[in-house]
Amino acid sequence: MAAAAVLAPLKPADRIWAVGAIRGNHAALLSLHRQLAQKVRPGDRIVYLGSYWGDGDGETVRAAINEVLLFRRYFIAQDGVDLADIVFLRGAAEEMLGKMQQLQFAPNPGEVFDWMLSRGAAGIVRAYGSDPAHVQSVMRQGAHAIAQWTSQLSDAFRKNSGHSALMADLKHAAYSTDGKLIFVHAGLDASRPLNAQTDTFWWGGSMFESITDRYYDCARIVRGASNGTPGLIEREFTLSVDGGSGRGGPLIAVAINGDGVLIDQIEAES
């Protein structure tokens, strides 16, 4: 896929809001959006850093996705706001949702599905009408049964208005066009340029945490998901904004200026 299709350019701004991993936490997202609506204004940019889907019950996960879509409409409806002023990154949850719809092609579909469950994918399964334990049994019934289930999953997914459109619009990373800021979901391989990353954006958290030097001309790299200790973690060249939403912690959004300096913060509990 061409880099232009998966990397989102952002015009420099005095204030860019970055929203950490949501992981299906509808209550926290609703609270955060109420606060953000009082602060955001035309001229700002908003970057959602991935993992909108998450664990929990299916109704809550679906409600979180619908809330993301509603706030997008609210923001772009304001005078002076351009469609390119709001960006949604692809996170680990979205990677799993995409792969889940192709499990019949996996060499070991049962192992892959169990691996997904261990990383919080049960709520995705519930959101579209299946029980994780039942799907585990399907994974042992062969390619035909698995293909039938993935087809049912895809159909249920498409029937939820806006969900498939959101998935189709997700970007792998975002960057300010002046080169000062980069936004990723979980990780970044500092030895490779932005357009040559592989799956590090979703699974390379340890690489992100090892960044101690400037990445090209970038002043700060911002990420939304951590597999380690959650919280707002600010280092010289990086900023991690995963409060642990969906895992017992708050949902965090931060505002940074064009040089990557933290200038505002919102936290919302579930």
Q: What is the CATH number of the domain that holds 30?
A: 3.60.21.10
Determine, yes or no, domain membership for 181.
yes
Residues 82 and 176 placed together within one structural domain of the fold: yes
Residues 142 and 239 placed together within one structural domain of the fold: no
Residues 7 and 70 placed together within one structural domain of the fold: yes
Determine, yes or no, domain membership for 177.
yes
Q: What pLDDT shows up at residue 1?
A: 39
Order of strands, sheet of 86-88, starting from the edge strand that comes earlier in the sequence: 86-88, 45-48, 16-19, 251-256, 262-268
Last residue of a domain, one of 137, 158, 179: 158
Residues 20 and 111 placed together within one structural domain of the fold: no
Q: What pLDDT shows up at residue 4?
A: 57
Q: How far is the C-alpha of 50 from the C-alpha of 226, rounded, in Å?
A: 11
Q: What pLDDT shows up at residue 189?
A: 96
Residues 79 and 210 placed together within one structural domain of the fold: yes
Last residue of a domain, one of 158, 182, 211: 158
Determine, yes or no, domain membership for 164.
no
Order of strands, sheet of 181-184, starting from the edge strand that comes earlier in the sequence: 7-10, 173-176, 181-184, 220-223, 238-242, 231-234
Q: How many domains does the chain have?
A: 2
Residues 82 and 177 placed together within one structural domain of the fold: yes
Residues 41 and 142 placed together within one structural domain of the fold: no
Cβ 153 vs Cβ 169: under 8 Å: no
* Cα Rg of the chain, angstroms: 18
Q: How far is the C-alpha of 109 from the C-alpha of 101, rounded, in Å?
A: 11
Tokens of 17: 């809001």
Residues 176 and 81 placed together within one structural domain of the fold: yes
Determine, yes or no, domain membership for 237.
yes
Domain that holds residue 197: 3-91+170-268
Q: Which residues pair with 173 in a beta bridge?
A: 7
Residues 122 and 245 placed together within one structural domain of the fold: no
Name residues of the chain where pLDDT drops below 70: 1-4
pTM recorded for the entire structure: 0.96
Residues 60 and 102 placed together within one structural domain of the fold: no
Determine, yes or no, domain membership for 10.
yes
User: Judging by DSSP bridges, how do beta strands 173-176 and 181-184 pair with one another?
Assistant: antiparallel
Indicate if the alpha-carbon torsion angle 34, 37, 39, 45 is positive or negative: positive
Determine, yes or no, domain membership for 163.
no
Residues 183 and 86 placed together within one structural domain of the fold: yes
Q: How far is the C-alpha of 239 from the C-alpha of 220, rounded, in Å?
A: 7
Residues 148 and 191 placed together within one structural domain of the fold: no
Determine, yes or no, domain membership for 61.
yes
Q: How far is the C-alpha of 245 from the C-alpha of 82, rounded, in Å?
A: 29
Q: How far is the C-alpha of 254 from the C-alpha of 18, rounded, in Å?
A: 5
At which residue do the structure tokens 């969900």 appear? 163
Give alpha helix (H) positions in the chain.
3-6, 26-39, 58-76, 92-100, 109-117, 122-127, 132-138, 143-158, 163-169, 200-203, 205-209
Q: How many CA atoms within 13 Å lie on the side-chain side of 239?
A: 26
